[in-house]
Each structure stands twice: as C-alpha cells, then as structure tokens.
C-alpha cells in the first residue's frame, strides 16, 4: 500500500466512523481516534465482505452504494461495541 492509499484509508475511515457514530443509538463516550480506527476497520471489512458477495472482483463505475451501506452498518456496530467497552471507563 502506498502513502496515498494509507492517507485515503484514514480519510475514508474517518468519514465512515463519523457516519457510524451519527447513526449509532445513544451517547458514545469514545474519542475521535477510536471512532476513526473503528471506521477504518469497518471500511476494510465492508470492502472484503462486498468483494466476497460480488465474487467477480470487477470495479463498478462511480460510487458503489451497497458497499458503502455495508461499511456504515459495520461502523455503527463497531462504534456501539467500542462505546460499551471503552465508554464506561472513569479517568482518575
């Protein structure tokens, strides 16, 4: 992966993570860094799942909406889990 690919993954992951946080129910007491990490993981997993479902490996022209929806759903799940695990910790 090139530097441009890494920067793109971080940017897309941040957007996916923020969308996941927006659609997750309740208040999430997690940092923006955790949100971005969850978004990056959701973006990568969503792409892998869509490529497995699609099974052709061919790129579609334009935005692949189904892949994006899968990524956002995974981000909502990930943000909810992270908020439950990390959000209840008290700082001393």
Work out the mean pLDDT of the chain and round it to a whole number. 83
Mean pLDDT in residue range 60-85: 87
Cα–Cα distances in angstroms (integers) from residue 92 to residues 29, 34, 45, 89, in the given order: 16, 20, 35, 10
| Angle of CA points 49, 50, 52, to nearest 5° | 65
* Tens digits of residue pLDDT in 16-43: 988 988 888 888 888 889 988 999 999 8
What's the pTM value of the predicted model, to 2 decimals? 0.81
Mean pLDDT in residue range 41-48: 88
Question: Domain total for the chain?
Answer: 1
Residue 91 lies in a domain: no
What's the pLDDT score for residue 74?
A: 93
Residue 75 lies in a domain: yes
What's the pLDDT score for residue 51?
A: 81
d(CA 50, CA 66): 8
> For the chain, how many helices (H) and strands (E)?
3, 0
């Amino acid at each position: 992966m090139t530097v441009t690919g890494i920067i793109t993954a971080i940017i897309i992951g941040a957007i996916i993570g923020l969308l996941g946080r927006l659609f997750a129910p309740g208040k999430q007491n997690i940092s923006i860094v955790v949100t971005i990490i969850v978004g990056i993981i959701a973006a990568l997993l969503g792409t892998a799942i869509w490529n497995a479902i699609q099974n052709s490996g061919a790129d579609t022209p334009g935005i692949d909406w189904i892949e994006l929806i899968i990524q956002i759903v995974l981000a909502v799940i990930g943000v909810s889990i992270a908020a439950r695990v990390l959000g209840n910790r008290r700082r001393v």
